[in-house]
């Protein structure tokens, strides 16, 4: 299972997956495909799921928080041309 955080939140909520799908106007089986990692939900869908489950997006999709960070660049990762030696 690709997204255990989301699955645990669904179980803790006491709601059935199909109930969440209906409430969010998802097509049947979409939540299952999100849980298994077959499809990646949009940021909007992540926000809707978080609201439906009473959670923060980062609680359900911890990688979402990390993907928004700007990558660190250090001098060792730059080519000679980029640092003016080429």
pLDDT digits (tens, 9 = 90+) for 46-76: 999 999 999 999 999 997 654 444 444 444 4
Burial 15-48 (b: 16+ CB within 10 A, else e): eebeebbeeeebeeebbeebbeeeeebeeebbbb
Higher pLDDT: 18 or 2? It is 18
Second-level CATH architecture of 4-67: Orthogonal Bundle (1.10)
Residue 32, pLDDT > 70, answer yes
Tell me the average pLDDT across 11-16: 97
SS3 category, 17: helix
Higher pLDDT: 39 or 80? It is 39
Tell me the average pLDDT across 7-20: 97
Model pLDDT, residue 39:
95
């Amino acid at each position: 299972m690709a997204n255990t955080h989301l699955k645990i939140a669904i179980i803790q909520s006491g709601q059935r997956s199909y109930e969440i799908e209906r409430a969010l106007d998802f097509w049947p089986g979409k939540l299952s495909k999100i849980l298994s990692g077959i499809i990646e939900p949009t940021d909007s869908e992540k926000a809707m799921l978080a609201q439906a489950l009473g959670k923060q997006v980062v609680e359900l999709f911890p990688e979402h928080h990390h993907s928004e960070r700007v990558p660190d660049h250090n001098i060792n990762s730059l080519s000679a041309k980029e640092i003016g030696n080429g």
